[in-house]
Chains A and B, each alone.
Chain A
Amino acid sequence: MSRFRVVFSSVRAAIGVGAVVAFSGCGDRTGPVVGHAFGVSRGGHSIVELVRAVYDSQPTGARLGVLTWDVPGGANLMQETEGANFFAANRNVIAVVGHNGSRNALIASMVYSDAHVAHLVPNATSRRLTTAGDWTFQLVPDDSAEGAYLASYAYDSLRAHRIAVLYVGDEYGTGLRDGVRSELAARGTDPPVDVTMVPNESCYSAQARSIQRLIVVAALRRGQPDVVVAATGMSNARCLADIIEAERPGTPILGADGFGFQTAPNAPVNPAVLQQVRFVRFWQPGADSVNRVFLDRWHRVSERPPNDVDALTYDGYMLLDAAVRAVGPSRLAVRTWLRSLGVTRAPFQGVTGPISFARGRVGLVLRMVPAQESAP
């Protein structure tokens, strides 16, 4: 059992992918628990500590525990599957929160659907999760919705009419691309002036940078866009932003939640680029009582400001706490209770807004954040 520990969520958007920190001494316990299906963020603040503190403050009869899963580094698909099977086999596990990223969450959701374990997914936006089954609860909108938000932001906020889309050819990129197209078609406006696939590669070499540059430049010259939607991940975000700024200075670059810059001390991001780049974020600290409580609790366990994944993960645990207190520590009862939100019950008031699953996650407010504000 030494491999399974309390873990802390990794933040793929703001702090990079797969950084995990191992905790010890709080794994095994009897009674109902919630599985924490994230790798441990090494050196970070533990949301698990925060959640345990909250859970332990509950009355004895409805008190939940947190069962963690420790992996030595960034989990691959095999390890994600193994971890999901571990949680599913433990009858004390009422539900699971986690599995970072769409690929991992999709693999795990199949295991949990078969084992009838409610699976709360804080930060995976794959469209396929919306059809993963009754036991999967996505706490964020999918890629298409995010793409639609980007299109509407470019059209409404930036008054852009010539929108070009650069995307990577994976599930994430195509989802955003389709969301943009759908939103523009729904508005009855012109379609994107150019939709070009770019290599999902970083500009790690001169040849790679040359390839990216030729493709992006050709696309920009073809479309002459007012706004570029960069439906890519962090691997080539900085490269693309540099090329776009060099070719068409001052052109706004809009990224989704996975868009971000990998920074290095000896290679700072061009400030002109930072001025043009905006990211999507699922949460910003609010002033309401729920947010105040969350922030208060958060700062007790971490010096780092909470990001949206922290908030979404916290909301997941609070949802399960409310469910167990309402219907008891039963997998089926918890799932039924979650499905009833927004249908026969009022939406749950979470940190990230009202939560219900009648038609996917409803009530989450997307926000566009300038890259300058999100830079560490």
Chain B
Amino acid sequence: MNRAEIATAGTRPSSPRLSLRQALILVFVGALAYVAVVGLILVIRVGPATQRLPRESTTVMNEYNQSEYRIRSVDKVQGELQALVGAMPTEQVDSGLLRSIRARLQEAEEDSRTLARMAAPSGSRTELRSLLAYGLLRESAWRNVLLAAAAAVELHDAAAARELLNVADLRSRPVHALFNVETSAVLRAVRREESNIAEVTASSTRLVGLWFVGGLLLLPVVAVFVRRRVAAPLAVLDDGLARVSAGDLSVELEPAVPDELGRLALHFNRMTAVLRERAAQEEERTATESTARTRAILEAALDAVVVIDEQGVVHEWSPRAVATFGWSRDEAMGRLLADLIIPEESRADHTLGLRAYGQRATTPMLGRRVETVAQRRDGTRLPVELAISPLHRQGRTEFSAFIRDLTEQHRMESELRQAQKMDAVGQLAAGIAHDFNNLLTGIMGYADLMRHDEQANAQLREDAAAVLAAAERGADLARGMLTLARRSHARDESVDLTKLAQEVMDVFSRTVDRRIEVTLALSADAAVARGDRSQLANALLNLVINAADAMPNGGQLTIGMRVARLDEQFTKRHSREAVPGEFVVLTVRDTGHGMSSDVRARIFEPFFTTKPIGEGTGLGLSMVYGTVRSHRGIVTVDSAEGTGTTFTIYLPLDHTGAELEIAPVREVRTGRGRILLADDEAQVRDVMARLMRRMGYAVELACDGEEAVELVRADPDRCDLVVLDGNMPRMTGPDAARAIRAIRPGLPLVLSTGYFDADSDETPAAKLFDGTIAKPFDLAALSQILATYVPS
């Protein structure tokens, strides 16, 4: 924890100091007192002096002016009296002038009395006051003489008047002399006031100057005081806030003085403590969430996640790792990874890789996806994809490994390759079968004609029957190839598989080696599937024959039947065509010699066989595979050398109902009507025309679809049925059917085809036709189709 003292930048005081508020008040009061002292100096010393000077000067001058006026007035009175006295012998005394003289003298007397009353003997005017008081007395005596002189004039006593005027003249002299002295005193008083104010001003100026100098000398002390008590603590607080705002919550201030800043520091510390606590809670919450999230990710991860340290010790073992490798988390944690999942032959490389990372901080395994082989707890190997990344956490280096089990991927890739291989073989087989069927159609047709030719001898008809039988075996072979390619003309009907299995096993048990114990484990459930009954029977027969072949010295053969629900995961893993739902599960298990993995990987390939030459065509399991896939089913094999083999067929359960028994009709039916036959194969076209005519129909031939269309367009009513080959040059059968439908919509159309290609254009086009004739066909089958669509 960083602690900073907020109250001072210097040493801690030994005694309690001023609080911030007190310090500020002290500074403020000090400044105020400092200024107040200056003001007081000015007010107390300079102010009164400057105010007194004009007041005193004005007063003194007023008094001086009054005295001057009064003395001049009395001088004038004296002059007037002298004039009156001088004129007395000859002139009449002017009584008005005398009244005026008396009035002016009385006025002057009262003025002087008023002035005397005002003249207080104090202050700087003491000298002047004394002079004034003395002068007023002298003036009064002078005026009294003049009053008497005026009275003498009024009483016509010229002698007394002259004598009194002489006395007045004598009494006026000290008055004037005093006035001059008074004038000097006035000037001295004014000068004294001026000198006084100058002295006061100068001394005050010096005092103020000294005061300012003292203030300037005190200024650094005040500055240091303010810096230590205010600026420095605020700077510490500011620094602390800056650090907190920058994210450093460890800062803590140390309040040196319990003042405002001290309380602020305490609040600051509480704030940072709260922030630290919240940050810790947030960190803990984040860590918890992160852990939970990591745990959720690990649990949801499709790949196994393993974390090891630089010594290869396991620190994390995800649930997927548990499922993939068989080691529980508790078992795996703390153990060396090499002991858990790394095969013996790879452990040295693993150890070298860890050591190389410790030396060079890198290894070629890092940051890449590497396919390798791991081993499970039970020792089995599995292909894995490995992605390793280094983790640097809390000073340690760990490695996180994302391990993806490639077993399924490899299997799917194998299946894909198998499917692609089967498709290629199917394409080849389909082409061969198509041509083969056309050939067989001619062979079987001609043989049929010969067999039913009444004019031929018996030997020839037997030969024709032999040809026909051989041709039918060839037709079976062609049908097998089409089944392999899933392009056979399969039936779509409900097949009771339990019943079918019992029938097959009934036939099989008559020919099987007695050392083989056959067991039927059929459930009571209705195991009905939809498909071609004969194809399914052939498939089951192939499986049991292969099983018997695998047990040359006898063993146990078990056929099981049950109904099970397959989920999407299972169906997707084994087939792109199977839909999740209820399936009839048919198992054929033997206790034979089993298969190696290499054999197991190729058993469904066409023409692949482990039997000696001449004992197997290599098409048996391929047909099983094709039959099951064409029925949207799944076939799996589980086999190991020496432990036997189990084939499992999954066929979609049919809920529509049980199998219907339809007895095959093999008789040749005749009829009447016009048939337009289009086929590009001349031989086929010829033999079919001859067969149709033998049945009683009128047949018109066309070399291809286009010709057939032209014939119909030329005369839409020229025939009652049109038989079109599916694959013809210039215009195929379906295209011709569309055109004919456009011309005459109600005209029956039958497709004659050598194979049924589910993926070709014929499939949707087949819906354009009213019926289908699969080549090669026999006479009865052809007559049934024709009789169905040509009205008699």
Contact = CB atoms under 8 A, between A and B. Distances in A.
Contact of B109 (A169, A207, A212, A215): A169
Contacts of A174: 110, 113
B81 to A, nearest CB: 13
A199 B109 CA distance: 10
Contact of A171 (B109, B113, B140): B113
A223 to B, nearest CB: 12
A218 B113 CA distance: 24
Contacts of A219: 151
B105 A214 contact: no
B148 interface: yes
Interface in B611-634: none
A78 to B, nearest CB: 7
Contacts of A222: 154
Contact of A207 (B140, B154, B157, B167): B167
A366 to B, nearest CB: 25
Interface in A134-180: 169-171, 174
B4 interface: no
What secondary structure prevails in chain B residues at the interface with A?
A: helix
Q: Name the interface size band of chain B.
A: 20 to 34
A197 B154 CA distance: 15
Interface string B300-321: 0000000000000000000000
A170 B112 CA distance: 9
Contact of B110 (A169, A215, A218): A169
A28 interface: no
A218 B110 CA distance: 21
Interface string B99-130: 00010011001101100010011000000000
A277 B164 CA distance: 30
A169 B106 CA distance: 7
Contact of A214 (B102, B106, B112, B151): B151
Contacts of A197: 102, 105-106, 109, 147
B102 A170 contact: no
B145 interface: yes
Nearest to B111: A169
Interface in B139-188: 140-141, 144-145, 147-148, 150-152, 154-155, 157, 160, 164, 167
A318 B774 CA distance: 167
A215 B144 CA distance: 9
A215 B113 contact: no
A211 interface: yes
Output the residue of A198, A201, A218, A219 with the most chain B CB within 10 A: A218
B109 A211 contact: no
Contact of B155 (A201, A207, A214): A214
Output the residue of A196, A199, A210, A211 with the most chain B CB within 10 A: A211
A190 B152 CA distance: 28
A333 interface: no
A166 to B, nearest CB: 12
A369 interface: no
A169 B147 contact: no
A103 to B, nearest CB: 8
A184 B141 CA distance: 32
Contacts of A368: none
Given A78-B121, A169-B106, A214 B113 contact: no
Contact of B151 (A78, A170, A207, A217): A217
Contacts of B160: 210, 214
A169 B136 CA distance: 12
Interface in A185-215: 196-201, 207, 210-212, 214-215
A208 to B, nearest CB: 8
A78 B164 CA distance: 36
Given A169-B110, A171-B113, A196-B102, A211 B145 contact: yes
A239 to B, nearest CB: 13
A214 B148 contact: yes
Contact of B148 (A77, A78, A211): A211
A222 B110 CA distance: 22
A346 to B, nearest CB: 37
Contacts of A212: 148
B110 to A, nearest CB: 5
Interface string A220-238: 0110000000000000000
Given A171-B117, A210-B148, A211-B147, A199 B140 contact: yes
A214 B152 contact: yes
B121 A211 contact: no
A215 B151 CA distance: 5
B477 to A, nearest CB: 153
B141 to A, nearest CB: 8
A201 B144 contact: yes
Nearest to A218: B151
A170 B144 contact: no
A174 B155 CA distance: 26
Nearest to B144: A199
B121 A214 contact: no
A218 B154 contact: yes
B148 A215 contact: yes
Contact of A199 (B112, B113, B147, B157): B147
Contacts of B164: 211, 214
A222 B144 CA distance: 18
Contacts of B120: 77
A228 to B, nearest CB: 16
A217 B121 CA distance: 38
B262 to A, nearest CB: 51
A52 to B, nearest CB: 35
Contacts of B144: 199, 201, 211, 215
A62 to B, nearest CB: 39
A322 B117 CA distance: 36
Contact of B121 (A77, A169, A199, A201): A77
A64 B148 CA distance: 55
A196 B160 CA distance: 20
Contacts of A210: 148, 160
A215 B121 CA distance: 33
A245 B387 CA distance: 157
Output the residue of A169, A170, A174, A207 with the most chain B CB within 10 A: A169
11 contacts: A78-B121, A169-B140, A170-B113, A174-B113, A211-B145, A214-B148, A214-B151, A214-B160, A215-B144, A215-B147, A217-B155
Q: Which 6 pairs of residues, A with B, have the shortest CB-CB distance?
A: A169-B109, A218-B151, A211-B148, A199-B144, A214-B151, A197-B106
Given A199-B141, A214-B155, 18 more contacts: A169-B106, A169-B109, A169-B140, A196-B102, A197-B102, A199-B144, A200-B140, A201-B141, A201-B144, A210-B148, A212-B148, A214-B152, A214-B157, A215-B147, A215-B151, A217-B151, A219-B151, A222-B154
Interface of B: 102, 105-106, 109-110, 112-113, 117, 120-121, 140-141, 144-145, 147-148, 150-152, 154-155, 157, 160, 164, 167
